[in-house]
Amino acid sequence: MTSVSVKKRIALAVAAAAVLIAGWGVVSYATGAPPFGGRGTIGAKDVCESLGDPEEAAGLLNRLLPDSSEYSFSDHLTASPRTGHDTNFDTSCFINGDDGRLMSVRTELRAGETLDQWQTEVRENYDEPERNVKAFDAGRRAFSGRRLAAINSACVPEDEIPFGPYRLSTTVALQYTVPDDRVADLRRLAELAAEKAHGDARCAVAAEGGSAR
């Protein structure tokens, strides 16, 4: 066999392999198989109950979250709705994608801190640089950055339960930064979660009420 024949056979084999790879790519794209799985879509039935209105929350999440072939949700309520002098109330929603955790949304009932102390602690806990923080209108106080939105809502007046007043702290934290034109979506998602928690916790005062501390 001449060297020319060997080279011709190799060329034909390479060409055949290229055709097979191209064909597999077309089929993969058409069927959604990796690596052409595309972006998953979040529906109202998928979202955590603690996020409030499911239709609106789903729309916000589809705009906020990065591309992933699928998304999974984990909803936790660590205490029943508040009754009497019970101060245990804590909800959390964790959202994962192909590469792990994408977002967490949490609300907890807190006391014994001023609004300034609350804001500093939340910002530092989630590593949001102070230079990124901007206030927005919600609850007693609200602020957002490029990957965090937080709302402090009045809940239990000072004279109802010892060591009050008690307020709800709602945070929406991302594992990445969002562009400026998506910050409004981040804030709105925090508002939905805060409104849902305020009702579930059976708060005795309006979210914007209470002491100015």
C-alpha to C-alpha distance for 185 and 191, rounded to whole angstroms: 10
For the whole model, what pTM was predicted? 0.78
Q: 89-124: per-residue pLDDT in tens?
A: 899 999 999 989 999 999 999 988 899 999 999 999
Buried b (16+ CB within 10 A) or exposed e, 60-82: bbeebbeebeebebeeebeeeeb
Q: 14-29: per-residue pLDDT in tens?
A: 454 444 444 434 333 3
Answer for the pair 192, 52: CB distance below 8 angstroms, yes or no: yes
Q: Where are the alpha helices (DSSP H) in 65-203?
A: 115-125, 183-200
pLDDT tens digits for the chain (213 residues)? 555 455 555 455 545 444 444 443 433 333 344 444 588 999 999 999 999 999 999 999 999 999 999 999 998 876 555 555 667 789 999 999 998 999 999 999 998 889 999 999 999 999 998 999 999 999 999 999 999 999 999 998 776 666 668 899 999 999 999 999 999 999 999 999 999 999 998 888 899 865 544
| Strand ranges across the sheet with 72-77 | 72-77, 90-97, 100-110, 166-174, 148-156, 141-144, 134-135
